[in-house]
Amino acid sequence: MLGAITDHLTSVFPDATLAYSGAQLPAAVEAVSTSGANCAIVDLDLGDGRTPAEVVTVLRHAAIPVVLISANDNPLAIQAALLSGAHSYVPKRLVIDQLRHAVEAAESDVPWKSPDFAAVLVPIEGSSVALEPAQQRALTLYAAGLPATVIAARIGVATEAVGPLVDSAIAAYRYSEDDEPLEASPE
């Protein structure tokens, strides 16, 4: 799968340089600092025993935006990684369709969303983010792939209010400098 992702990235970002590919966080951080990399694409299961949130925290301290990818949807791990500073999440099955857009948004520091990204943010038991009922309902319906007009009718808001409701639900998972920092080291 790594080869397919690398091939896809080189085709959609022909001027990009792949700074690091592997499962060693210290080596990745070193590559980031020496290469001037502007985005990290991180598999949820890096394979070095760290949680995704720990990996994201280390990369955030290295001032690099992170796009998460994974073959396995693990909502709580993805939510924790977003709260630690990851920019977005793309399921591996949708890498070809969505990764380019997620990376471009991360590099530009603009919000990015997709129904699949929203789906892992719908609060479940163990979620640490509490959404307002309208936010949660809009996020759930957006994650199901419903158009804004249908979402609006189902939750009783204007169609124009759906986008901001979904955006505010996703923003609740965004890292803030005011948040308590999670201590993590690449060592």
* Cα–Cα dist 14/5, whole Å: 13
Would residue 145 count as lying in a domain?
Answer: no
Would residue 55 count as lying in a domain?
Answer: yes
**Containing structural domain, residue 106:** 1-112
Cβ atoms 120, 73 nearer than 8 A: yes
* Cα–Cα dist 126/27, whole Å: 32
The predicted-structure confidence for 104-113, as pLDDT tens digits, reads as follows: 999 998 888 9
Residue that is written with structure tokens 């925290």 in the block: 57
CA distances from 122 to 52, 65, 74, 106, 177 (A): 18, 23, 12, 21, 23
Helix (H, G, I), strand (E, B) or coil at 34: helix
The predicted-structure confidence for 19-77, as pLDDT tens digits, reads as follows: 888 888 899 889 988 888 889 999 887 777 888 999 999 998 888 899 999 887 789 99
Would residue 160 count as lying in a domain?
Answer: no
pTM: 0.84
**pLDDT beyond 70 at 129:** yes
What is the arithmetic mean of pLDDT over 133-159? 96
DSSP 122-140: S--TT-S-PPPHHHHHHHH
CATH number (domain holding residue 21): 3.40.50.2300
Would residue 66 count as lying in a domain?
Answer: yes
Cβ atoms 168, 142 nearer than 8 A: no
What is the spatial order of strands in the sheet that 40-43 belongs to? 40-43, 66-70, 88-91
**pLDDT beyond 60 at 181:** no
Q: Is the sign of the CA dihedral 41, 64, 180, 185 positive or negative? A: positive
Would residue 9 count as lying in a domain?
Answer: yes
Would residue 139 count as lying in a domain?
Answer: no
Number of domains, the chain: 1
The reported pLDDT for the residue numbered 187 is 55
Would residue 81 count as lying in a domain?
Answer: yes
Would residue 22 count as lying in a domain?
Answer: yes
Q: How many DSSP H helices and E strands does the chain contain?
A: 9, 3
